[in-house]
């Protein structure tokens, strides 16, 4: 996989301009592959191939349960290549190897879950009047675009592609230029299936070129995008011009709300894991710690102790934290840390880490910032790194207000033994997912995932995501 190609219409192809992009290992900066720098012409070829495949009698004649079997075959191929895929994901993204394995296992579950749903997307009948049969069917939308981010490439590809194909659509994937390897392997798995050319396509390149061409293409029928608010807004605007629906899963500034009556050890572990996974480069990272005022010092001391015990190192060494993706991302995080020195207190961390034999990797100590104003950039903006900001609250109302004080609303953790309080907060916090006495629920393939406010709209994962890729048709038949 040193010099990869795009997969378009059942063929492995170069870009139309023959330009290539280097792919680097975040752990040491080494160039580990090159990919085609896809252009608008390449995207158009993929979209046209997907359109022809969607309209073909060959694809239309594939029964729903047969689509499920196809997806199960992909799941099996992923399982059969688990070790290889985990290493590819780990080397591409820089996450610890154990997290790479977890991502591969989640990808398997996505294909299995939507394979089981392929023949269970039901219609309905509506009673109107005697002599009139009215029914509703859900039909595939057509050609679907899947713009995949760099932080969880195989997971995010799998969750949307599996749902789209389960409901009878065709697919064009645009992987991130930094992390294309597992997407290429998935394309190879699809190439081994007996399906029409063009059902699955994979293009590579920069977001501002290939990604922009895909989101604005007039013959795309649905766009799924995961990434930043800024890019998500551009994707939505481009799709809107073509009156195309969009599913957006964007940023987060997610809080863990810790009450004095919590199970302390479980809360500490949950808070730490929520911010260090993938070195904090996670849209659902628990980047804000909200602690009951009377309990703050005792709880924060335990969190600081855990942070100081965390290990940092190259991805394949499977430490607690791997490197930051690249120098650009690292510098962005460091700007927030420098700001924290002026506007808050760095309790622990905040320094670059030098790793022997990995000097070209960007490593950062996991960092805790205290005494930050709730309206500061550190409190309001997504840092996207292993940086935890600490705040206090006095009572339930104060906790709710603080949790809702950002423009994001993706995930919230609540740590308390008071079930009434947990229900109250869950009902009043503007967040797409609420976890009580846990955070993440092991990935939760079955659980709808998406945000309030600027965290996006629409939902990924779970049964409800199948509806992203269907459109409703109503049929009324009059009889004597």
Choose the catalytic residue: 249, 292, 365, 382: 249
Phi, psi of 431 (to 5 degrees): -155, 140
Torsion of CA 100, 101, 104, 105, to 10 degrees: -140
> Buried (b) or exposed (e) across 288-305, using 16+ Cβ within 10 A?
bbbbbeebbeebbebbbe
Start-to-end Cα distance in the chain = 65
Helix axis angle for 82-93 and 153-166, nearest 10°, is 120
Length of the chain: 480
Q: CA-to-CA distance for 43 and 36, rounded, in angstroms?
A: 12
Residue 404 makes CB contacts below 8 A (sequence gap 6+) with 429, 430
Q: CA-to-CA distance for 101 and 243, rounded, in angstroms?
A: 39
Phi, psi of 454 (to 5 degrees): -80, 10
Q: Is 249 a catalytic residue?
A: yes
Alpha helix segments (H runs only) across 150-291: 153-166, 181-191, 212-215, 229-240, 264-276
| Residues noted as catalytic | 249
């Amino acid at each position: 996989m040193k010099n990869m190609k795009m997969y378009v219409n059942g063929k492995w192809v170069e870009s139309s301009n023959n330009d290539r992009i280097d792919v680097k290992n975040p752990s040491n900066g080494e160039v580990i592959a090159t990919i085609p720098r896809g252009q608008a012409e390449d995207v158009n070829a993929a979209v046209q191939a997907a359109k022809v495949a969607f309209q073909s009698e060959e694809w239309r004649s594939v029964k729903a349960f047969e689509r499920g079997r196809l997806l199960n075959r992909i799941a099996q191929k992923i399982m059969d290549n688990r070790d290889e895929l985990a290493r590819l994901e780990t080397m591409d993204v820089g996450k610890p190897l154990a997290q790479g394995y977890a991502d591969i296992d989640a990808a398997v579950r996505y294909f299995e879950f939507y394979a089981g749903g392929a023949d269970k997307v039901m219609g309905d009948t509506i009673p109107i009047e005697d002599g009139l049969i009215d029914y509703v069917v859900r039909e595939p939308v057509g050609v679907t675009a899947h713009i995949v981010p760099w932080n969880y490439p195989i997971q995010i590809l799998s969750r949307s592609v599996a749902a789209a194909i389960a409901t009878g659509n065709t697919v064009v994937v645009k992987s991130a230029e930094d992390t294309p390897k597992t997407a290429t392997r998935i394309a190879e798995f699809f190439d081994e299936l007996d399906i029409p050319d063009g059902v699955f396509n994979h293009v590579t390149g920069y977001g501002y070129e290939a990604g922009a061409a895909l989101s604005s293409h007039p013959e795309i029928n649905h766009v799924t995008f995961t990434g930043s608010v800024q890019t998500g807004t551009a994707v939505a605007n481009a799709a809107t011009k073509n009156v195309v629906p969009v599913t957006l899963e964007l940023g987060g500034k997610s809080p863990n709300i810790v009450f004095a009556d919590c199970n302390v050890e479980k809360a500490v572990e949950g808070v730490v894991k929520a911010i260090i996974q993938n070195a904090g480069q996670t849209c659902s990272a628990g980047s804000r710690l909200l602690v009951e005022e009377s309990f703050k010092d005792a709880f924060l001391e335990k969190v600081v102790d855990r942070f100081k015990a965390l290990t940092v190192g190259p991805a394949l060494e499977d430490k607690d934290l791997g490197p930051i993706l690249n120098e650009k991302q690292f510098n962005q995080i460091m700007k927030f840390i420098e700001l924290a020195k002026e506007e808050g207190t760095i309790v622990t961390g905040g320094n670059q880490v030098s790793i022997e034999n990995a000097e070209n990797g960007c490593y950062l100590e996991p960092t805790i910032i205290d005494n930050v104003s709730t309206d500061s950039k550190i409190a309001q903006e997504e840092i996207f790194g292993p940086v935890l900001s600490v705040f206090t609250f006095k009572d339930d109302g104060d906790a709710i207000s603080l949790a809702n004080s950002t423009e994001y609303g993706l995930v919230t953790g609540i740590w308390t033994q008071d079930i009434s309080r947990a229900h109250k907060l869950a009902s009043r916090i503007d967040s797409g997912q609420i976890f009580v006495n846990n955070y993440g629920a092991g990935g939760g393939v079955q659980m709808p995932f998406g945000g309030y406010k600027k965290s996006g709209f629409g939902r990924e994962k779970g049964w409800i995501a199948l509806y992203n890729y269907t459109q409703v048709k109503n049929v009324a038949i009059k009889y004597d």
